[in-house]
Chain A
């Protein structure tokens, strides 16, 4: 892009790139290394970068220790329910948004942008009060509801893009052949939408899986806590030897999003999802 740089220029570029790789990479290496260290190496005076006797003991411990295992199951339940519900609710609306221009649709998208401005504190207190009134505070169902609403705006935006990519002519052709609106949707549109549906479901799964604040405030019973909340509580009761299972649990908690990002890599690097997943 800048033409051929001089040799010193090139060298400087590699020095800078190395700096970035160290800054970005070493903390990750440290997490992985801690997760595989046996307790003795965790408490030794001068820790090493690579474990001398790597072990999977921490993973076993993280899982069998009731709390993390149960928390992972809770997270799985909540995230799956959020993903399925989000898609079911967003599907009809995204079709309408893509095929017909309505003021309502524009208003919905405007709301998405506006709502970014407002801190969660303003939302969480009324939501907490509403859920308590209908008896859904401190339940997974209540949390799922919040996650669906939270994922919905972006899910709508994403899905309607996929609908737009289905040529309108296909629907018109089916209509000429005498298919009803519903038949067209079921037999023409939905099958072609499959990749979009998968992407949307994955997105809402991940945002529920990673979410911390609402789960922290809305679930009071420890048995109901999701993985991020349980991990965060683990941090409080540290002792150096506990770091191993904590790191192992954290690593496992990252896997779903890593898979999602690998799946979305191409879209991400093309920048089309750039504003999508809030950091």
Chain B
């Protein structure tokens, strides 16, 4: 199985020469040091400390005594209804966005891979949402969903479906779907670009051979394109899932978790725990739980895909 990005440029690194002198090695480490030091101090170390915090009762404030509490945080998590609620919403969001993103992106990539008119315009448009800061994407869609001055409600008015007008982000039943649509819109471009690159790597001869054998469009898609694309699909959907599960800024701007916690993603929940209520230990425990869950879900997904491939 190959990875998404083929990097032919990496393949030619110099082999470890048997006799690399000591001063040479010192030189290499000196070159690496300015990069490695900040990564260790401000990325590796904080992460380890963050994992550890999840097993303590750390709270905000100076000179607060921190003690190791073992699994107490996790026992509390298991009984925390708000956490389970947020977790359920997070799963709905992450799976919903990832699946829709993938299906729509695959469709768009297939279209962009054809000789169609307006393909250039579509390619540019397909990348623009990717270039926007997440906060701006949030604001943009707030304008679209705005109950009075919004594009969507105005559209329903113009087509004579005033009954469908609603406060999309403020209504209990529409808030989560509305937010998921925004997630799809924001993340689709990247997935499309990756899938398009994958499609362009599918050998043309395979298609021609299949066509000669009399395979129809659907059969060629099912039996030639999809298998050739499988590694790319597995990689990008896994990454999308991780990114979506950990996403924060978009929903923070759109609903801040509301109405009534209907869009309270786990990241928002953890943010509130940590920086509104100052429960550092509990928030870190939540983070640890999220990592475990993501890893477990990915393991199941990847194993199933691998078995299918064999």
Contact = CB atoms under 8 A, between A and B. Distances in A.
Nearest to B266: A119
Interface string B138-176: 111111101011110010010000000000000000000
Interface residue SS majority, chain A: helix
Interface stretch (A57-65, A88-96, A169-177): A88-96
A254 to B, nearest CB: 5
Interface stretch (B72-80, B81-89, B113-121, B301-309): B113-121
B53 interface: yes
A145 B138 CA distance: 27
A13 interface: yes
A190 interface: no
Interface residues of A, number: 102
Interface string B198-222: 1110001001000100000100110
A250 B91 CA distance: 30
B280 interface: yes
Nearest to A26: B151
A92 B34 contact: yes
A119 B270 contact: yes
Nearest to B280: A125
B179 to A, nearest CB: 14
B28 A28 contact: no
Contact of B267 (A119, A253, A271): A119
A111 B114 CA distance: 38
Contacts of B43: 111, 115, 123, 149
Contacts of B108: 20
Nearest to A259: B131
Nearest to A92: B31
Report the interface size class on chain B.
35 or more
Interface string A49-92: 10000000000000000000000000000000000000011101
A189 interface: no
B222 to A, nearest CB: 12
A179 interface: no
Given A124-B274, A279-B190, A268 B127 contact: yes
A188 interface: no
Interface in B37-84: 38-39, 41-47, 49-51, 53-54, 58
Contact of A243 (B111, B113, B149): B149
Given A116-B239, A250-B140, A149 B47 contact: no
12 contacts: A9-B217, A20-B126, A23-B185, A28-B125, A95-B31, A96-B31, A100-B28, A121-B267, A121-B284, A126-B49, A246-B139, A247-B143
